[in-house]
Structures are given as structure tokens and as C-alpha cells.
Chain A
């Protein structure tokens, strides 16, 4: 455990040693405010909830999380420090989890810094804070899902730009899997169970059900499994691509 702890602390201090962390947080906060008030009609709706705020999270994460995850392993491979890290008494799993946790905590920090909007809605009305809390958890879990996918893609290349673009594409597919656009398209030729399966891997479906305030075990399991599977895939990819 102390190994993972050391790795997490190093990674986190790495974020804040460069402007990356500050740029990310500032852009995250500006975008979330802009979406909520301009596109989400926060005031005009006249309702005391944070739906307009959380509705845009999947779309914000689509671009912002690959920007965090792209460096996870691609940079390590580019500078060669992966060779140093993986010859220290550290298992591959510890390294993968340490890096993932650090990035996830960082996303959590950015998310926590949106607290003024929570204060605002409580000042203006009397929202259901349970639903808001559940939405924050759901948003963070969804962020973890995006991150795990990004971690796996990042392990496959030494170019951060390539990792960024491929992560966006993959995450986009995961996001839209439950959308009518995709489902109408696949339902024509595929058996119903497969269509259901495709619909059920959609991030939006699971995030929306959590952010209604219904914390269903199946939604938590979905994100948990997704993170687990993609972190496992990360270890496989690193092992495979070590030599080049």
C-alpha cells in the first residue's frame, strides 16, 4: 500500500509542478460555468437543482479527461522513465493503479472546486442535496471510466497526441452507445440482446440514472467493472509493448 501511496504522491506533485494542473482546473471551471448558465439556462429554468450543470459533464469529460490521461504512460515511454519505474521493486499493478488513482484524485479535486455552484443553488432555493451528492459521485465515477480507457490507450503509444485523439474517439463511442443515433443504426441487423448489450455500456445511461439520485448497485458495478477491465488491459498492453 505504501508503494501505491508513494506513487500517487509523486504523480500528483508532478501535475502541480507544471502548468498542466492549473490550466486544466481553470478551463474545467470556466467551461462548467459557461455550460451551466449559457447553454443550460440555469436561471431561466427557475428550478432548484443542478441538472444543467451535470448534464454537460459527459461532454466536458470527453475532451478534458483524455487531456489528463494521455500523458499517463505515453510520457513515461517517451522519456524512458518507464524502464526506471518498472525495475524498481514495484509491481506493474501497483504502478498502473498508482498512476490511475493520482489522475482520478486530480479529477476529483477539479470537481470539488465547482462547489460555488452548489452554494449558489442552495442560496437561491431549496434543492435536494442528496441528489446533488449522488450526481457528484456519479460524475466522478464516470470520470474514472474515461480515465481508465485513456490509461489503456496511453500505454499503447509513446505519442501523447495520438493517445489524446484515440482516447477521445473511444470515449465518444462509449458515450453514444445508448443514443438513438447509434441504436437505430445497429438495431436493424443485430439481434435484440446485442442491441441491449450495446445500449447498456453507454456512459450516459448509467450516469443519468445515478444523477437522478438513484444510486443503483448495478450502475456502481458498471463503472467499477469498466475501470477494472481497462486497468487490466493497461497492464497487458504495457507488458506487450515494453520492448519498443
Chain B
């Protein structure tokens, strides 16, 4: 359990994180969303124990990060932004070094290294200096280092940044595989990732916590939630008809694409399907929108920035 209370970090006059409170329980994969410079990394650095909070407290599995830093660090695995490592070391020497500092040795350490090397497909680069590795491999070495001691808490700052789509998929399934009994916090600005791995999302902007909900609940805030989009060459004509439907509040046309927004709480998909058959419209695509996360993200962060 991670418990964050009234967390504030300021540098002189600049307030990077402002009075943030939340708790995370085992089994939760929490996605940190927010524009660049929103305070995501600063918050993660404070949880990991690199920066000290100006005000407020952080407790990780019952250990206060300020008063008992060593105990807190032992239960945390941390991947800093950009996955820094000691470039002149080989992958295996680096993992061994981190393992020793984490108090592992002998056969335990060997077994753990073998395990993370398998999980992250690092066998091929085990004896190469980290400086010579590709960005994707470097990121995976950073991840391997973070999960080496099988921590209860994982804090990953942009874990899939710089990976190709296949590698992204691998890392996501790795995170999902570990999610059952751990606390995982990841920061990302790839919104699809939130759907893929997180079961909770927090949006931070300007250092303030603006939203805390499941990805589905966030999507439901979108004005596109339950909207119906059609693609047809006769877009204008269809739009005209749809405007006349009682439950439709608004119709937008963009090229061949027509989007009808329902009045709040109404369902319009069934009605529109019927209309399509009735009028025998030439429609190539019909879609019921779940809501658009990027639009919600923009709305929330823009409003947050203004207030």
C-alpha cells in the first residue's frame, strides 16, 4: 500500500507538485498521465526516495520514505526516466552490481538474474557494454534492474518510451503478468497504453491532481461517449435527417464522416441503425464510440491549466 498525503514539492517560487493525496493498493496498476512538465516525474522521484518532499508525507508498505528511507527503498523497484545505467558496464555486470547492493548474493542472485534475463529477452546482450546497446535494449536493461529483487512496488517512469511496437507489447504483458499482487505506478503520455495496462488513471497537470478514475470512467467523461459515427458519401443528407431525431443533441459532419451526439443519458445507436435500413443509406461504416481518452485528457488538462 502506498499512501501519499498532501504532497508538495517546490523549488523556490516554482511549485512542481501541489498538495497531492492518493493511495494505491496491491493489484492496482496506476497510470500517471499529464503533459510534459506536469509533475509526474517529480512525484515519482519523491516516492522512489530521490527527492525529498517540501511538505506532506509518503509511506510505502508502511515505511515512511523520509524517516525510514532504506526500508522503503528495499521494497521499491524504480526505473528512472530515460533508464540511466552505467554505460561502460556489461549487462550482466550491471545486474550483478544492482543485485549485490540490494543484498542478494550467491545462487539467489544467479537465479534472479537468469529469471529477469529470460523475462526481458536479454540473453543476447548479456556480455555487451550497455553503452553499445540500442535504445530498446537499454530500456529493457533498466526494467530488468527494477524488477530484479521482485519488489512489491514498481515505479516505472515511461517504461515503453523508445521501444518498437513489438517490444511495447512485450513490456505491457510483462507488467500485466506482475500486476496481480503488486503495486505498479507507470507514467506515460501514450494514452492507448493506459487502456492496455492500467486499471486506474490519475491525470496531473500544473502539479495538481485533476482526475483519478478507471480508464473506462475517464472515457465516459468524453463528449464522444455513446456517440455514433457513420461514414457515407451522402454525409450531408444523413446529417440533415439525424438532426431531426429527438434524442440527438448535435450532429457534426467532417468530410464523409457524420457524428451524432446523444442527449445526456440517451442511447441512439439502435435508432440510427433502424434509420439506415429505412432510408437505405449507402453506409460503409457505423461505430458506437466509447469515448476518446485524448479528448478527455485535453479537456481536463486545459481546464486545469486555466484555473
Contact = CB atoms under 8 A, between A and B. Distances in A.
B306 to A, nearest CB: 27
Given A18-B88, A79-B84, A81-B85, A87 B97 contact: no
B49 A87 contact: yes
A87 B73 contact: yes
Contacts of B45: 83
B50 interface: yes
Interface stretch (B99-107, B199-207, B213-221, B222-230): B99-107
A83 B50 contact: yes
A188 interface: no
Contact of B50 (A2, A14, A87, A91): A87
Nearest to A15: B88
Nearest to B100: A6
B244 interface: no
B15 to A, nearest CB: 13
A23 interface: no
Interface string A36-57: 0000000000000000000000
A229 to B, nearest CB: 24
A242 interface: yes
Contacts of A14: 86, 88-89
Interface in B126-165: 129, 145
Contact of A81 (B11, B84, B93, B103): B84
B98 interface: yes
A89 B50 contact: no
A87 B86 contact: no
A88 B101 contact: yes
A10 B84 CA distance: 16
A80 B89 contact: no
B101 A89 contact: yes
Contacts of A84: 78, 80, 84-85, 145
B51 interface: yes
A88 B73 CA distance: 6
Interface residues of A, number: 22
B76 interface: yes
The majority secondary structure among interface residues of chain A is helix
Interface string B55-80: 00000000000000010011010101
Contacts of B48: 87
Contacts of A190: none
Contacts of B78: 84, 87
A54 B73 CA distance: 47
Contact of A86 (B50, B97, B129, B145): B50
B103 A79 contact: no
A121 B156 CA distance: 60
Nearest to B16: A243
Nearest to A79: B84
Instruction: Find the residue from A2, A7, A80, A88 having the highest chain B CB count within 10 A.
Output: A88
Contacts of B98: 88
A2 B98 CA distance: 13
Nearest to B99: A6
B82 interface: yes
B103 to A, nearest CB: 7
Interface in A221-244: 242-243
Contacts of A87: 48-50, 73, 76, 78, 80
B84 A90 contact: no
A53 to B, nearest CB: 33
Given A14-B88, A88-B73, A89-B70, A80 B11 contact: no
Nearest to B79: A84
Contacts of A243: 11, 51
18 contacts: A3-B101, A6-B100, A7-B101, A14-B86, A79-B86, A80-B82, A80-B84, A83-B50, A83-B80, A83-B84, A84-B84, A84-B145, A87-B78, A87-B80, A88-B73, A88-B102, A89-B74, A243-B11
Given A80-B81, A87-B80, A88-B101, 14 more contacts: A2-B100, A6-B100, A6-B101, A13-B89, A14-B88, A79-B87, A81-B85, A83-B80, A84-B85, A87-B49, A87-B76, A88-B102, A89-B102, A89-B103
